[in-house]
Amino acid sequence: MTSADVREIVSSLVPPGSTPVPRKAVAPSATRKPEGISRELYNLIGNAAPTLVAQVSRPKFKARPDLGRARVKWEFREFDNPARKDHLKLHHWQRATDTGNYRFARYNIDSAPISYIDEEYEAVYGTIPAEIDISLLASTSKEDTPWTKEDTDYLFRLVREYDQRFIVIIDRWAPPSGIDRPIEELKSRYYGVARSILERRLPEDDPNKAQTLAGFNFDKQQERKRRDYVVALFNREPEAIEEEEALYIEVKRLEQNERRFTKDREDLLRMLAGVESGLGTLKVGDEDTKKKKKNGETSADSPATPGGGSTKKSKAEAKYVPADDPTNCIVRYDPATVSVGSKSGVPSIFMRSSRIPVPKPSVATHVTQLLAELQISPNTLVMPTKVNVEKLESLLNTAGILIEMKRSVDRLDQEIRVLKARHKGENVEEVEMEHGEDKGKAVASRKRSMSIISNAANKRQRV
Amino acid sequence: MAYGGDEVNAIVLDMGTYSTRIGYAGEDLPKVNMPATYGSVLDPDTGLFKHYVGDEGVNIYRPKMRLSNPMREGMIYEWNAVEDVLNYAFHSQLRCNTADHPILFTEPPWNNKWNREHLAEILFEKYQIPATFVVNNAVCSAFSAGKGTALVVDVGQDISSVTPVVDGYALTKSIQRQPIGMSLLTNTAYMTLTTPTLERVDAIELHSHQLISSKKPMGYNAKPIYTLRQDRLLNADQSWRNQMSRRVVEDWIEVCSGALETTFTVEEADKKGTKFYEFPTGYQAIFKGSERLHPAEIFFNSSALNRIRSYGPPPIAENHPSQGRMIPLQEALPLQNLIAHALDLQDIDVRSSLMQNVVLVGGGSMLPGFQERLLFEVSNLTRNKNYKFHIPTVPWERRFSSFLGGSILASLGTFHQLWVSREEWNEFGPDILAQRCK
């Protein structure tokens, strides 16, 4: 069967009057394929292709290096090295355009160690006899033998030669006197002599004198202690290292627990008593705990006293709040109620009015409703004295708590209802008992909320 | 110009006990790598010795040619042939005019003052070089690994040594070295091959191919049928024959031997499989793992060390003794103990950085399994996990590490102020070397 046959069959189906509409050829010029997009993809998505894609995926080629233009001529040339004191001429390949000093000569720098002349040394140490007293040598241990000038000269020569690398100096150490000394002894001698020489050499009015001299302070005992400690650290058995690590992890874990407990307690207290325990901002860290231990404070361990209206100042804030000054009539307010201040813990500048607590957004409507019932406008107090503002604050607080409490009571009621429905078919007595308990709880909470309301009422009266 | 380099066409001369390496600074391989040994034949007409150096000088049969090694412990101790070696390298191989090239040469850390000054003198007087410098080959090895501070473990031909290098200075007081190297391994392998076993009732004859005129193809473990060249046998010097037999053993070591990665037991070693080897005589043998891996135990195992102590130490240079103490073979330690001991002697402030930078070099470290075994033994011995070995993966970087380090050093732009120039040499005399090359 050919295509002609098919056409014949199809045309026989079409009513003879209607001629087939000639299909319009798709004009490719009208919707040109944008560059950077493959033909297959374009056929699929058509004109909807985001222009961005086309731009991003356009291939970018590196610019061709221009080889023809910059031809550099190199010359094999003799050069002089200013870092050398002699006239050695070496040869190297160099750009013909490169002239001037040898590039690497500027790396020839000296660490500029201290040196002295004999007069200076004698002025500080006096004229020490050149020969060591043999009896003295025998009586004292070797490293305590006093230094001779020859040995000191030798030490300073080595220090200059090896750029103060004392590890190398101690390795090459073969002084005229033949006395082997430990490395901290060499350091101590070098810094000690250099310091006293400098002290004499620098004029009194040199502003940097103290600073320069401080650079030559060296405590031999401290160094010895440090070395002993490093040796002890180095010689730890693998088991000891493991144990240390385990202990460290354990401490970290305990600290984390502590933090969690504190947070839980905080939440509970806020929930039940509306009190900030003051432990929330407690930082449990290595240094902090150490410091606290030093100060004899056991804040992390002492239980917070719930129910007390007085809020403890957190440590970070307490540091920065200056004391009251009655003579100048300056009264500092407890900043704990509302979180003002910056993240760093330093209270920033604030408006007093901003310190009036704003109820939580979740309960705000209810609180305003409640206040409306009590006929109090939170924004405009008639007499915004200290006492009154405090009252208002506590009122708003308690109102918020009351609302939250009511919500949780409602939730519990709901739960009770659900449980009851579930236990319907079960033992009647059990259900009743449960019911009774729940009732008790509910009654208790209701009582508390009642008392809060009465409190609020009292306050209002006073206000 | 990259990396602070500045080529001044310096030549690096690195003489070792096994081979002498000479090449241009800035290249990673020496142009000339020739055996350290030289042959000497007495010319009956003049009554003088004619010296033969280089591969073609030494390995070819010559009637009555005596082979000797002028190097001991990496130091030159016989100066007769040094100029022949240098002539061969500079004139026959590099074909350069030495007056144009400053020469940096290496020396072992225990080299003595006289030796280095003598070599510098030869270079200045005979070869008219413009400048020279001498550098410690352990420092070079550290540089070749790109480190200024390193604990260089060098397993060489005569000596294995552990040298701490701090900021480019070798700490000479705490260098540990002992006469356990590839030559002792060759001796041990020689004994292994020439000692009959249950499977091999006859000792293997280690004639070199130069002495064999014909041989017949034989089956495995069959007694070889070959004829020796009687004329050569009569005229060959014993030293040459010994050296050529050692070459056979060295080749066997290269093909078959190696170190077991873990503690040596016969069962474990046999698991590494057998290897086939045909000797120049036509004798074919298959070597079990325990047999071919056992010789290298002298590096790691004190009981294997005890066995070879009876072989006696190799001769030691006497006319100009080396500096510092060499641990005699009777007191030699396994290599891992040597490393740990060398570290214990270090100042506590550099110890940990040395531990972090242990560089393993030397021809001995190229034995298969050597580095794995060393790491295994070190971690077993010290229980300290902080060792970090730097082992060049390219094998010739381990063999030519001191050449490579010297090549790097002599091509640095900042180095060129350190050369000891002819002018300074003439002005200050040989002492300038010790002052400049610390």
Q: Are residues B124 and B209 in the same domain?
A: no
Is residue A78 exposed (0-12), middle (13-18) or buried (19+ Cβ within 10 Å)? exposed
- Is residue B340 included in any domain, yes or no? no
Q: What pLDDT band is residue B307 in, cutting at 50, 70 and 90?
A: confident
Shortest alpha-carbon distance between residue B358 and chain A (Å): 18
> HEC string of chain B?
CHHHECCCCCEEEEECCCEEEEEECCCCCCCEEEECCEEEEECCCCCCEEEECCHHHHCCCCCCCEEECCEECCEECCCCCHHHHHHHHHHHHCCCCHHHCCEEEEECCCCCHHHHHHHHHHHHHHHCCCEEEEEEHHHHHHHHCCCCCEEEEEECCCCEEEEEEECCEECHHHCEEECCCHHHHHHHHHHHHHCCCCCCCCCCCCCCHHHEEEECCCCECCCCCEEECHHHHHHCCHHHHHHHHHHHHHHHHHHHCCCCCCCCCHHHHHCCCCEEEECCCCCEEEECHHHHHCHHHHHCCHHHHHHHHHHCCCCCCCCCCCCCCCCCHHHCCCHHHHHHHHHHCCCHHHHHHHHCCEEEECHHHHCCCHHHHHHHHHHHHHCCCCCCEECCCCHHHHHCHHHHHHHHHHCEHHHHHCCEEHHHHHHHCCHHHHHHCC
Q: Is the pLDDT of residue A320 over 60?
A: no
**Lowest mean pLDDT across A113-127, A237-251, A372-386, B326-340:** A372-386
pLDDT in tens, B152-187: 999 999 899 999 999 999 999 999 999 889 988 998
**The Cα angle at residue B340 between residues B265 and B368, in degrees rounded to 5:** 45
- Is residue B326 included in any domain, yes or no? no
For residue A449, what pLDDT is reported?
47
Instruction: Decide: A285 and A255 in contact? Cβ < 8 Å.
Output: yes
For residue A57, what pLDDT is reported?
62
Query: What CATH class does A118-132+141-233 carry?
Result: mainly alpha
- Is residue B315 included in any domain, yes or no? no
User: Do the Cβ atoms of B384 and A167 come within 8 Å?
Assistant: no
Cβ neighbours, 10 Å, residue B72: 20
- Is residue B342 included in any domain, yes or no? no
Q: Is the pLDDT of residue A17 over 60?
A: no
Helix, strand, coil shares, percent, chain A, to 5? 55, 5, 45
- Is residue B21 included in any domain, yes or no? yes
For A95, the enclosing helix (H) or strand (E) is: strand A89-95
For residue B296, the domain's CATH number is 3.90.640.10
Q: Are residues B66 and B127 in the same domain?
A: yes
Q: Is the pLDDT of residue A200 over 80?
A: yes
Q: Are residues B67 and B126 in the same domain?
A: yes
Closest residue in B to A92 (Cα) is: B8
Q: What is the mean pLDDT of residues A122-141?
A: 59
- Is residue B344 included in any domain, yes or no? no
Residue with the bigger pLDDT between B273 and B385: it is B273
User: What range defines the domain where residue B217 resides?
Assistant: 182-305
Q: Are residues B29 and B126 in the same domain?
A: yes
pLDDT in tens, A219-229: 889 999 999 99
Domain boundary among B305, B340, B370: B305
- Is residue B224 included in any domain, yes or no? yes
ipTM reported for the complex, 2 dp: 0.87
For residue B355, what pLDDT is reported?
92
How many distinct helices (H) and strands (E) make up chain A?
16, 2
Q: Which of residues 179-218 of A touch B (CB under 8 A)?
A: 183
For residue A280, what pLDDT is reported?
46
Number of domains in chain B: 2
pLDDT in tens, A351-396: 766 666 676 777 778 888 888 888 777 666 777 777 777 788 888 8
Q: What is the mean pLDDT of residues A296-319?
A: 40
Residue with the bigger pLDDT between A447 and B340: it is B340
Q: Is the pLDDT of residue A424 over 60?
A: yes
Q: Are residues B186 and B291 in the same domain?
A: yes
Q: What is the mean pLDDT of residues A274-281?
A: 54
Domain boundary among B241, B275, B305: B305
Q: Which of residues 215-234 of A touch B (CB under 8 A)?
A: 227, 230-231, 234
Q: What pLDDT band is residue B317 in, cutting at 50, 70 and 90?
A: very low
DSSP A46: G
Pick from A393, A389, A392: which is nearest to A460 by CA?
A392
User: Do the Cβ atoms of A167 and B4 come within 8 Å?
Assistant: no
For residue A420, what pLDDT is reported?
92
A87 touches chain B (CB under 8 A): yes
Q: At CB < 8 Å, which residues of chain B contact A? A: 4, 6-9, 100, 102, 130-131, 166-167, 169, 171-174, 347-352, 383-385, 413-414, 416-417, 419, 421-424, 427, 438
Percent of chain A with pLDDT over 90: 16
> For residues B329 and B324, what is the distance between their CA atoms, to the nearest angstrom?
16
The DSSP result for A280-298, as a single string, is: TT----HHHHHHHHHHT--
> HEC string of A121-177?
HHHHHCCCCCCCCHHHHHHCCHHHCCCCHHHHHHHHHHHHHCCCCHHHHHHHCCCCC
Instruction: Decide: B57 and B39 in contact? Cβ < 8 Å.
Output: yes
Q: Are residues B127 and B58 in the same domain?
A: yes
On chain B, the residues whose CB falls within 8 A of the CB of A111 are none
Domain boundary among B280, B305, B330: B305
Residue with the bigger pLDDT between A34 and B104: it is B104
Q: Is the pLDDT of residue A133 over 70?
A: no
Which of B347, B417, B424 comes nearest A83 by C-beta? B417
Q: Are residues B53 and B130 in the same domain?
A: yes
- CA-based torsion, A129, A134, A135, A137: positive or negative: positive
For residue B108, what pLDDT is reported?
94
Q: B238 φ, ψ to 5°?
A: -60, -35
For residue A7, what pLDDT is reported?
75
For residue B142, what pLDDT is reported?
95
Which of A92, A103, A168 comes nearest B169 by C-beta? A168
User: Do the Cβ atoms of A167 and B424 come within 8 Å?
Assistant: no
On chain B, the residues whose CB falls within 8 A of the CB of A93 are 7
pLDDT in tens, A151-164: 899 999 999 989 88
For residue B311, what pLDDT is reported?
60
For residue A110, what pLDDT is reported?
80
Instruction: Characterise A424 by phi-psi region: left (phi > 0), alpha (psi -120 to 50), beta (else).
Output: alpha
Q: What is the mean pLDDT of residues B317-327?
A: 69
Q: Is the pLDDT of residue A28 over 80?
A: no
Q: Are residues B219 and B116 in the same domain?
A: no
> For residues A275 and A278, what is the distance between their CA atoms, to the nearest angstrom?
9
For residue B27, the domain's CATH number is 3.30.420.40
**Lowest mean pLDDT across A424-433, A440-449, B287-296:** A440-449
Per the prediction, chain B carries an average pLDDT of 90
Per the prediction, chain A carries an average pLDDT of 72
Q: Is the pLDDT of residue B138 over 90?
A: yes
Shortest alpha-carbon distance between residue B127 and chain A (Å): 16
- Is residue B418 included in any domain, yes or no? yes
Beta-bridged to residue B275, according to DSSP, are B287
pTM: 0.69
